Homo-oligomer: A and B are copies of this chain.
Amino acid sequence: MGKEPGGRVTISDIAERAGVSIGAVSFALNGRKGVSDATRERVLQVADELGWAPASAARSLAGARTDTFGLVLARDPHNLGVESFYMRFLAGLESELSRRSYGLLLQVVPSQEIEIATLKKWRRSRRVDGVLLVDLAVDDPRIELASEPGALPAVVVGDPAVAKGLTSVWTDDATSMRQAVQYLVGLGHRRIARVSGLAPFAHTHIRDEAFVEEMASEGAEAVLLRTDYTPEAGASATRHALQSDAPPTAFVYDNDVMAVAGLTVAMELGKRVPADMSIIAWDDSVLCDHTFPTLTALTHDVVAFGAHAARRLFDVIDGAPPGAFLDSTPRLVIRGSTGPV
């Protein structure tokens, strides 16, 4: 069917299958005007079906370098600014990219489907030199996409277990969670709530599992509350738990703003922190140091984490073998919000 020796798909293959001229395929794949939207769509669809990718030889020509990394965030734009994690992570990426005169192509999209379509588009048009994959799910379809021949170089920001052999940069959340549980149990807490983030994320799953296991091994009662990371959801989960028949005496929140919301609910309900209720925030942020009382938190340097991820992507592009790189194990910083039961 016109394939080159070795089976690489050519634009002739695509033209034949789509029933259009080679010129039209070229226009469509390069995102230029000169073809109708319908033709462009058909060409792109056929190109995807055939697994077309630009020759890697062409990529390595100096002129084909874009000096740009790509990052897609599949998050609700209105919630994105709520926690400081991503802005700090972006700033860290940028610190490394700017040193090398690289730019970051950022796209915020409403769903993972559109995230994948965006990654495919970037691959087709070689719009970026490589991509960072974040907010990984268990069995994330992006891993398969990034493992295909002709895929853009990628670094997974997340646990090696989900990266499936791709280069990953990760924080050891399970160990941190166990330390937090041991600390609270050591203070005498026997019923502890984890106010967790979005269920599909792998890191949510990893923290859930470590929490439940460690609580079980300590013979303590684990209360698992699911939220969407917003302070509204954090406040609601806290209120519900505190007004139950058997309220937890300690809460571990999956971000900083939910911990602040939890502290507020405690105050509204007349609970004293930490005398009646202990609070731990994850991640830490400057916010945790400016509440009353200040918030005990699991902390790591998110800016450095972003810079580290960028460095590993440069390494991948330079041909480094894949690896799983531990960035840090978030450590417990004890402030005013935790104490004995």
Contact = CB atoms under 8 A, between A and B. Distances in A.
Interface stretch (A2-10, A11-19, A103-111, A175-183): A103-111
A264 B290 contact: yes
A77 B105 contact: no
Contacts of A30: 63
Interface string A257-293: 1001101100110000000000000000111011110
B77 A94 contact: yes
What's the interface size class on A, roughly? 35 or more
Contact of A91 (B62, B63, B77, B104): B77
B108 A103 contact: no
A307 to B, nearest CB: 9
Nearest to A232: B286
A286 B108 contact: no
A68 interface: yes
A84 interface: yes
* Count of identical protomers in the assembly: 2
Interface stretch (A31-39, A47-55, A135-143, A159-167): A31-39
A88 B78 contact: yes
A302 B79 CA distance: 12
Contacts of A67: 31
Contacts of A31: 67
Interface string A234-262: 01000000000000000000000100110
A267 B294 CA distance: 11
A290 B87 contact: no
Interface string A110-137: 1000100000010000010000000000
B81 A88 contact: yes
A294 B78 CA distance: 20
Q: Which of A32, A82, A91, A260 has the most CB of B within 10 A?
A: A91
Contacts of A231: 286-287, 289-290
Contacts of A267: 292
A90 interface: yes
Contacts of A121: 101
Given A103-B105, A291-B264, A62 B32 contact: yes
A85 interface: yes
A82 B303 CA distance: 12
A95 B77 contact: yes
Contacts of A98: 107-110, 114
8 contacts: A78-B91, A81-B86, A81-B303, A94-B106, A103-B107, A257-B290, A264-B290, A264-B292
Given A77-B92, A105-B105, 16 more contacts: A31-B67, A77-B88, A77-B303, A80-B88, A81-B87, A81-B88, A81-B91, A84-B84, A90-B106, A90-B108, A98-B114, A103-B127, A231-B290, A257-B290, A264-B291, A264-B292
